Chain A
């Protein structure tokens, strides 16, 4: 089944941005991340493909300033999925290539014309440590 046009256009837009971007459906299933995000996450999207929320929320091993794992429910994208509102956080991840990165992440809901919740997008910004 084809995705809603807002999701299709978001993926197209992501392909033309230098800002790392991660796109999920309303259930949190990863639909796409763009090339700049591939550099942060350490693997090409073609290699990882789509994956469910339980998988992507742990596979990049997010940790806080103290090095403690961040529960999936506290990640910005999960908050956005749960509450349908924007969320923001700073944390560290270890990409699939083993590189540790300090990130700011802002997640925003994708709401359709009639307010229907269609998914969410997370924008990443790497901080210099």
Chain B
């Protein structure tokens, strides 16, 4: 699988000269199998550019939404393939206890917030998760609800001999007991991320910010690294960067976390445009 980051920013787009290296687009990640099958994690503003690069030969795209906070769906209406009747677009995401996924998405994809109704798009199907594991082409996908305000899922995708977990908005540190990580059955998202080749994980806050925003559903670099160690991930990509953190600050947070924690797994920068090959090489 080839994993490409098209948007790595959390909360709100943060374009500008100070964010050119990590990028200002909100979450969108492409996962492409060797046979050309394609998934997209989330539909933040990064998905507009992702959609512009879709080959005309593509017949189907599956968008896996983690949740419906604005930064994760804001780009959906600007995803070109939605308007191409030749391309089937399947949108997967969580329902709420009272509204279907389609009804929830329609709150955004309808006037006055958006000129086009979701129901008027030519070839779109919505699927509610979490659900039992399912397959999309060469991908085997597991989902479960994770710790973040409102219904939010994490994903584990296996394909081409590799495994990637995507947990972009996640606060597993809320599961700590007296500052210590509990047994695996009490850690949010553990089963999704255990032993993965690549873990894309929330690292929005500094330690100081986390004190102010505890319970808001996000992690620090330290929490992300500790979670990766708990699950035995082989590589982590810190993700969902705070919009107020510029490139220099993100470099510093990354370097400090690596120096302090000395992870025994690979750590890669969560920069827009970064590409990761996971599993068997083509």
Chain A residues near B (Cβ < 8 Å): 1-6, 8-9, 11-12, 15, 112-115
- Chain A CB within 8 A of B184 CB: yes
Q: Does A4 contact B144, Cβ atoms closer than 8 Å?
A: yes
In the complex, A105→B194 CA distance in Å?
A: 38
A/B interface sample: 24 pairs, CB < 8 A: A1-B191, A2-B144, A2-B184, A2-B185, A2-B188, A2-B189, A2-B190, A2-B191, A3-B186, A4-B144, A5-B145, A5-B146, A5-B147, A5-B188, A8-B147, A8-B187, A8-B188, A9-B174, A12-B175, A15-B177, A112-B145, A113-B97, A113-B145, A114-B95
Q: Does A2 contact B96, Cβ atoms closer than 8 Å?
A: no
In the complex, how many angstroms separate the beta carbon of A25 from the nearest chain B beta carbon? 10
Kindly identify which residue among B95, B177, B187 contacts A2, using a CB–CB cutoff of 8 Å. B187
In the complex, how many angstroms separate the beta carbon of A95 from the nearest chain B beta carbon? 24
Contacts of A114 in B (CB 8 A): 95, 97, 128
In the complex, A115→B174 CA distance in Å?
A: 24
Residue of B nearest to A116 (CB): B130
- Chain A CB within 8 A of B75 CB: no
* Binary per-residue interface labels of chain B (151-192) against chain A in the complex, 1 for a CB within 8 Å, 0 otherwise: 100000000000000000000001101000000111111110
Q: Does A113 contact B188, Cβ atoms closer than 8 Å?
A: no
Residue of B nearest to A11 (CB): B186
Residue of A nearest to B176 (CB): A12
In the complex, A3→B145 CA distance in Å?
A: 10
Q: Does A2 contact B97, Cβ atoms closer than 8 Å?
A: no
In the complex, A115→B98 CA distance in Å?
A: 10
Kindly identify which residue among B94, B175, B185, B187 contacts A113, using a CB–CB cutoff of 8 Å. B94
In the complex, how many angstroms separate the beta carbon of A44 from the nearest chain B beta carbon? 14
Q: Does B177 contact A4, Cβ atoms closer than 8 Å?
A: no
Given contacts A8-B147, A8-B186, 11 further A-B contacts (CB under 8 A): A2-B190, A3-B185, A5-B144, A6-B145, A8-B175, A8-B188, A9-B174, A12-B174, A112-B145, A113-B94, A113-B145
In the complex, how many angstroms separate the beta carbon of B77 from the nearest chain A beta carbon? 25
In the complex, how many angstroms separate the beta carbon of A48 from the nearest chain B beta carbon? 16
Residue of A nearest to B131 (CB): A114
* Binary per-residue interface labels of chain B (238-255) against chain A in the complex, 1 for a CB within 8 Å, 0 otherwise: 000000000000000000
Query: Sorted from nearest, which 3 A-B pairs have the closest CB atoms?
Result: A5-B145, A2-B190, A2-B191
Contacts of B175 in A (CB 8 A): 8, 12
Contacts of B147 in A (CB 8 A): 5, 8-9
In the complex, how many angstroms separate the beta carbon of A5 from the nearest chain B beta carbon? 4
In the complex, A12→B261 CA distance in Å?
A: 26
Contacts of B146 in A (CB 8 A): 5
In the complex, how many angstroms separate the beta carbon of B72 from the nearest chain A beta carbon? 17
Contacts of B94 in A (CB 8 A): 113
Contacts of B174 in A (CB 8 A): 9, 12
Residue of A nearest to B187 (CB): A2
In the complex, A126→B151 CA distance in Å?
A: 35
Contacts of A2 in B (CB 8 A): 144, 184-191
* Binary per-residue interface labels of chain B (9-30) against chain A in the complex, 1 for a CB within 8 Å, 0 otherwise: 0000000000000000000000
In the complex, how many angstroms separate the beta carbon of A51 from the nearest chain B beta carbon? 15
Contacts of B189 in A (CB 8 A): 2
In the complex, how many angstroms separate the beta carbon of A112 from the nearest chain B beta carbon? 8
Contacts of A3 in B (CB 8 A): 185-186
* Binary per-residue interface labels of chain B (181-223) against chain A in the complex, 1 for a CB within 8 Å, 0 otherwise: 0001111111100000000000000000000000000000000
Residue of A nearest to B97 (CB): A113
Residue of A nearest to B145 (CB): A5
In the complex, how many angstroms separate the beta carbon of B275 from the nearest chain A beta carbon? 30
Contacts of A9 in B (CB 8 A): 147, 174
